[in-house]
Amino acid sequence: MRPAILDPLFAPLSTLPGIGPRMGELYAKLFDRENIDDCRVLDLVLHVPSSLIDRRNQPGIALAPEGAIVTIKGFVDRHQPPPRGNASAPYRVFIHDETGELALTYFRVKGNWLEKALPVSADVIVSGKVNWFNGRPSMVHPDYAATVEDMEKLPLVEPVYPMTAGLSPKALRKTIEAAVERLPDLPEWLDASVTAKHSFPSVKESFERLHHPRDAADLDLQAPARRRLAYDEFLAGQISLALVRQRLRKAAGIPVHATGELSARIRKAMPFSLTGSQEAAVQAVLDDMAGDQRMLRLLQGDVGSGKTAVALMAMAAAVEAGGQAVLMAPTEILARQHLETIQKYTANTNISVLLLTGKMKAAERREALERIESGDANIVIGTHALFQDNVNYANLLLAVVDEQHRFGVHQRLRLTAKGLSPHMLVMTATPIPRTLVLAAFGDMDVSKLTEKPAGRKPIQTAVIPMERLSDIVERLRAATSEGKKAYWICPLVEESDVSDLMSAEERHAVLTKALGQRIGLVHGRMSAAEKDEAMALFKSGQTRLLVATTVIEVGVDVPDATIMVIEHAERFGLAQLHQLRGRVGRGDEASTCLLLYKGPLSENGRARLNIMRETEDGFLIAEEDLKLRGEGELLGTRQSGTPGFHLASLEAHGDLLEMARKDAAYILTKDPNLEGERGNRIRELLYFHRRDEAIRFLRAG
């Protein structure tokens, strides 16, 4: 049961004033949720400012610096409405103080609200950005403008929040304010010794400080309020992870005794032998599975390092021992690709491999569910549909979760919530720094694939301005007529007026015309069947050029594709570029990657693209990326911060993570089921910061 004191925070966002269906949609977008019903008041409380506007600067009109936000106290001299018949001309209000005159400039003014807000001969306060033209200052659409009496509430320091298009900063601020007011007086969930030692303010005080900053120092990542909340968040994360691990481990492992019979056949079917590090990983996995504790292992390997083969060996072991194995992929395309690969390698065994996705037809799905329940299906491959409530496994011994870089303990918890706790192998592709591993996975055993399969040739990477597009088209013509295959990646799906990015559809049309051949297209808005078809045509060589958005970024494997063109490379995160480039260089043919950019490049932008040219080492790229951009962008996803965290930043709060890890271990050693007095406090913390995850876990417990 959720502690009642948290109820106001878990109330739907729509209970706040001013949130109707239209606003609701915007908030859902802001919080990256399906719809407004998934948003809680708490989401707003956790939506912390990224910067602030300081309106304390009151230099007087004559001394207002160009482009700076200032607040001016003045006297209204006159109004100058636009001349009749010229509605596009500005409406000006002239005010003065003892240093000079300022024009307040408004466009498209309707009605007479300006006369009311800024009456002639009134003392007024205005705040906004000042620009100078020909020695005259003007303020276009002041952020605030009213008589002195009406302006008592002018916020001199104003938080600025991360936004989404369509939402106004004012509306967002007001809603957040209303949400923060609902913050109850929470009892302290940390031990007094911890709060005292680090001078942590209370939770309520901390949020109030962040949402009502007095100056920039309050928003500093090292400010006590921010550190407190970051620590809480890390602690909640570490405790959830430790609990999952504890649960998984506690359920006595079913030792898997592999006979090696099936895996020997599979190896024969593979056109290569495993690399040394693949062998080492397989061995570690088999050892784990044979033991009486549940395996919980992370398999980390750079793009194209051959993680799938390791996973397949592990799954074969589960089947040899008479059980089932599942492989969960992050996307439908990947699930189908895994299915194909695995079917190919298991063709001369009696292993039955089955696909289960969310998009199957009812009859097909029913049949699949029956085969899973009867144990007829040995290996089940799919998306998150694998762990839905109505899927019952006959004898699930191993779950492989291909997380790529979409971290989340969700799936792992989902399994435990179903009362299942098979051996677990989690695969990640993006090379992640240790701190990030710790934050996203907690303490897990780790196997790393450090070598690339033999025979791989380095990928030639070139950084090329868009102006040379026609050269590239010619190169592609030559290459495809020689039988080579190429990807062409575009950043956006459909043309949009806010952006000059060429959409995939448009690029597809242009290239089809220029090359006079059939060209494939894959983007996120196509149906699964359409995507499959496009991938199949490209694999079989019926199309030799595939225009795609980043839907193909993770895991797509067409080993004979050797050319990768990335349009607007300057707009991608480095890790994402690395992932994309990793789609070529997967066979023994030499490959090329062309990074097309639209100039002029910033210094930083040039440095980033140069890193791509200089190295193919994912770990090095990740490190450089971290240096240049910060970890949020490292994963190429979130606008800010660390994935899964609202308040904590791995870069800034690494020390707190380490502390949280130790404290979590201590707390759970003392009270493994969180039943004691401290345990109850910690449960509150878990609900607050991990929500449904925590809820699932507590139910599962």
Ligand X SMILES: Nc1ncnc2c1ncn2[C@@H]1O[C@H](COP(=O)(O)OP(=O)(O)OP(=O)(O)O)[C@@H](O)[C@H]1O
> Is 511 in contact with 473 (CB distance < 8 Å)?
yes
Q: Please work out the total of residues on this chain that contact ligand X, with binding judged by CB under 6 A.
A: 19
Nearer CB in complex with ligand X: 442/555:
555
User: Could you tell me which residues come within 8 angstroms of residue 288 by beta carbon, excluding any fewer than 6 positions away?
Assistant: 295, 297, 423, 445
Nearer CB in complex with ligand X: 309/385:
309
Q: Whole-angstrom Cα distance, residue 558 to residue 571? A: 25
Contact with ligand X (CB under 6 A) among 238, 263, 275, 357: 275
Residue 279: closest CA among 318, 304, 313, 327: 313
Q: How far is the CB of 629 from ligand X (least distance, A)?
A: 21
Nearer CB in complex with ligand X: 489/700:
489
Q: Whole-angstrom Cα distance, residue 463 to residue 392? A: 51
> Is 265 in contact with 691 (CB distance < 8 Å)?
no
Contacting range for ligand X; rule: CB under 6 A; set: 304-312, 352-360, 371-379, 472-480: 304-312
Residue 117: closest CA among 138, 93, 137, 96: 93
Nearer CB in complex with ligand X: 206/305:
305
Nearer CB in complex with ligand X: 284/686:
284
Q: How far is the CB of 559 from ligand X (least distance, A)?
A: 4
Q: How far is the CB of 481 from ligand X (least distance, A)?
A: 25
User: Could you tell me which residues come within 8 angstroms of residue 49 by beta carbon, excluding any fewer than 6 positions away?
Assistant: 159, 160, 161, 210, 211, 213, 219
Nearer CB in complex with ligand X: 306/323:
306
Nearer CB in complex with ligand X: 305/562:
305
> Is 144 in contact with 128 (CB distance < 8 Å)?
yes
Nearer CB in complex with ligand X: 161/345:
345
Nearer CB in complex with ligand X: 213/306:
306
Which x/- pattern over 396-435 shows residues binding ligand X (rule: CB under 6 A)? Answer: ---------------------------------x------
Would strands 51-54 and 69-80 be described as parallel, antiparallel, or unpaired? unpaired
Q: How far is the CB of 430 from ligand X (least distance, A)?
A: 8
Considering only residues 582 through 621, tell me which ones interact with ligand X, judged by CB under 6 A.
582, 586
Contact with ligand X (CB under 6 A) among 175, 308, 550, 562: 308
Which x/- pattern over 318-357 shows residues binding ligand X (rule: CB under 6 A)? Answer: ----------------------------------------
Nearer CB in complex with ligand X: 283/392:
283
Nearer CB in complex with ligand X: 137/453:
453
Nearer CB in complex with ligand X: 57/341:
341
Looking at residue 316, its amino acid is A
In 318-366, beta strands by DSSP E = 324-328, 353-356
Q: How far is the CB of 576 from ligand X (least distance, A)?
A: 13
**E strand or H helix at 382:** strand 379-382
Considering only residues 619 through 678, tell me which ones interact with ligand X, judged by CB under 6 A.
none
Nearer CB in complex with ligand X: 453/643:
453
> Is 427 in contact with 403 (CB distance < 8 Å)?
yes
Q: How far is the CB of 641 from ligand X (least distance, A)?
A: 25
Looking at residue 418, its amino acid is K
Q: Does 305 bind ligand X (CB under 6 A)?
A: yes
Q: How far is the CB of 331 from ligand X (least distance, A)?
A: 11
CB 548: neighbour CB atoms within 10 A? 26
Q: Whole-angstrom Cα distance, residue 62 to residue 302? A: 59
Contact with ligand X (CB under 6 A) among 113, 132, 272, 666: 272
Give me the sheet containing 353-356, strands edge to edge: 353-356, 379-382, 324-328, 396-402, 423-428, 296-301, 445-449
Contacting range for ligand X; rule: CB under 6 A; set: 149-157, 303-311, 416-424, 514-522: 303-311
Q: How far is the CB of 305 from ligand X (least distance, A)?
A: 4
Contacting range for ligand X; rule: CB under 6 A; set: 253-261, 274-282, 634-642, 674-682: 274-282
User: Could you tell me which residues come within 8 angstroms of residue 13 by beta carbon, excluding any fewer than 6 positions away?
Assistant: 19, 24, 27, 36, 39, 40, 41, 43, 44
Considering only residues 446 through 465, tell me which ones interact with ligand X, judged by CB under 6 A.
453
Nearer CB in complex with ligand X: 55/307:
307
Cα distances (angstroms) measured from residue 505 to each of 492, 508, 564: 9, 5, 18
Q: How far is the CB of 323 from ligand X (least distance, A)?
A: 23
Nearer CB in complex with ligand X: 127/579:
579
Q: Whole-angstrom Cα distance, residue 175 to residue 16? A: 7
Contacting range for ligand X; rule: CB under 6 A; set: 273-281, 316-324, 458-466, 523-531: 273-281
CB 204: neighbour CB atoms within 10 A? 13
Q: How far is the CB of 388 from ligand X (least distance, A)?
A: 25
Helix axis angle, 677-700 to 650-670, nearest 10°:
100
Q: How far is the CB of 354 from ligand X (least distance, A)?
A: 20
Nearer CB in complex with ligand X: 400/674:
400
CB 378: neighbour CB atoms within 10 A? 25
Q: Does 226 bind ligand X (CB under 6 A)?
A: no
Q: How far is the CB of 420 from ligand X (least distance, A)?
A: 25
Q: Does 301 bind ligand X (CB under 6 A)?
A: yes
Helix axis angle, 332-345 to 261-269, nearest 10°:
100
* Structure tokens given for 129: 């950005």
Which x/- pattern over 523-562 shows residues binding ligand X (rule: CB under 6 A)? Answer: --------------------------------x-x-x---
What phi and psi, each to the nearest 5 degrees, are found at residue 343?
A: -60, -40
Nearer CB in complex with ligand X: 25/557:
557
Contacting range for ligand X; rule: CB under 6 A; set: 64-72, 166-174, 299-307, 497-505: 299-307
Would strands 423-428 and 296-301 be described as parallel, antiparallel, or unpaired? parallel
Q: How far is the CB of 342 from ligand X (least distance, A)?
A: 11
Cα distances (angstroms) measured from residue 321 to each of 8, 174, 296, 345, 515: 50, 60, 18, 19, 53
Beta bridge partners of 446: 298
User: Could you tell me which residues come within 8 angstroms of residue 104 by beta carbon, excluding any fewer than 6 positions away?
Assistant: 92, 93, 94, 95, 118, 126, 138, 139, 142, 145
Q: Whole-angstrom Cα distance, residue 199 to residue 115? A: 51
Q: How far is the CB of 536 from ligand X (least distance, A)?
A: 16
Q: How far is the CB of 318 from ligand X (least distance, A)?
A: 18
Contacting range for ligand X; rule: CB under 6 A; set: 305-313, 367-375, 465-473, 654-662: 305-313
Q: Whole-angstrom Cα distance, residue 74 to residue 64? A: 13
Contact with ligand X (CB under 6 A) among 201, 237, 304, 422: 304
Residues that bind ligand X (CB under 6 A): 272, 274-275, 278, 301, 303-309, 429, 453, 555, 557, 559, 582, 586
